[in-house]
Structure 1
Amino acid sequence: MSSTAFSGAGGTLAVFLPTKDGLVVAADKRQTPRGIFCDGINKILVPTGLRRTVVVVTGFISMQDTSNIPDAELCKHLAETPAPLDFGRTTLSFLEAHRVALKQFDGQAFTNRIHADIAPYIQAGNLNPFFGSRLAQIIIADFEPDMKSSMILALGVDLNRDGAFTLQPIPISPRTTIHGTIFKPNDDRQAIPFGEGAYYGQNVIAGVGVRFLNQTYRIFLQKEKISVIDSELGTSVAANLIDAASRATEIVPAPSGIGGGISVALIADDVQFLK
């Protein structure tokens, strides 16, 4: 195995918005390897055999050696060449093999699977430049129609300064546990960002991005509970937040690219792509 350092392809803003009808998920469609924009990439992944589950990976979605790929060919190469490390591919494979709802998710088994994938490349030195950083966030979400509740499990893929690997839950709310966070109809309304979260807070719902937030977002802010937000409003708001972020980056660039289109899915009785 080569000891050449890997580079990462990633950079994402995703918004998860629980409604009384289902969980809305919106994401941009841009990856930014080596500062180059690769657009039109769907980042909302749906595992085969699970009707009400989606996966989104932010940060470095995939990692490989692209040092010999010219800039002009990089996007085509990434689209056509499977990466040695692909956190989305691994997560889908794990979910498809186990086929259980998120509340039965085996976090230790998943940690072992990610570690088995990543360990050879840590040992070979491919990931030395990433020691002391978070490689990616893996977000798995589903919806329970009977209870009308949304569940989100966010996991950080981390390497410490010595290259030791950990996979740990990311707190979303004070109710977050190692199994994730459940959002019920009587809970306060939420629009939960992943990926460029700091940029989202400073430049989308505040700062330059406010001018791009439309009337549906203002209506959303007036709602207090998830139970009074339907999927139509949720879809409109989530898409508007991604669009506002994309437009804000034209004024204040984000650390990684945001843009390239918008994907929106509703998790209800099944997963429906609405955009």
Structure 2
Amino acid sequence: MNIKTYTESNREAWNEVNPIHQKHNPIQLSEAFQAKGYSTLDEHITRTFLRLGLQGRNVAQLCCNNGREVLSLVNLGAQSGTGFDISDHAIEEAKGLATTSGLPCTFVRMDVYDIDSVHSNQYDLIYISIGALTWLPDLNKFFKIASTLLKKGGLLVIYEMHPMLNMLAMEDEPEFEDPMKIAFSYFKSEPWINNIGIDYVGNTTYESATNYSFSHTLASIFNAVIKSGIHITEYEEHNHDISCIFTHLEKEAKLPMSYTMIGKKA
């Protein structure tokens, strides 16, 4: 199956779920972002961005969903923000939030694999956050595009779920026996295929459009970033969960649950 078949199926699934997320979101973002300095970013990544410096930077987020993190980065001091996402509905929500907040943010409905040269060398920082990489069938192509978007010396910041968690089954899966028992191969190469919805906000299930997600090893992520011409300067693993799936395992403190990777374009 080619990349476009995967991504267009996922586009349909994200268009289905975004109205469900809006319904279940406990925060009215259109009101929240009218407050100066409001941010949806957690304490760890906020400290990271403030340490790296946002002032005067043009930032972009690939797979930005409804734009809340792009808006947060600008509220924290970035000069401007641009978000790219495949979901028509999510981008419409993001545009609405930008309008009501008055923040200098632009949102583009686009498959990240189709981002063209008009955006090349435009950004000082690119952010990739939780849940982005799993939807991407080809990391080498993705990070090559991300690299072209960065100015020379620009920063790549990734804050994602640790790939080791892909080995664990969730309670509603037939492979589940124990929360800590390995159920799937770390080296799983075929995609996960889902038809019961992707509502991680309300945790509802429904008959959804077929969507495809992918397991990526740390080696595949590291190598794709390196091959893109981005030099990895920092890597840190964390024992806190940012996936909203495995929070119940935080108390075990036995697994890396998330990570931060920072790179700089040569």
The TM-score normalised by the length of structure 2 is 0.31
Task: Return the structure number with greater strand share.
Answer: 1
The TM-score normalised by the length of structure 1 is 0.30
Structure with higher RCO (Cα < 8 A, 6+ apart): 1
Task: Return the structure number with greater helix share.
Answer: 2
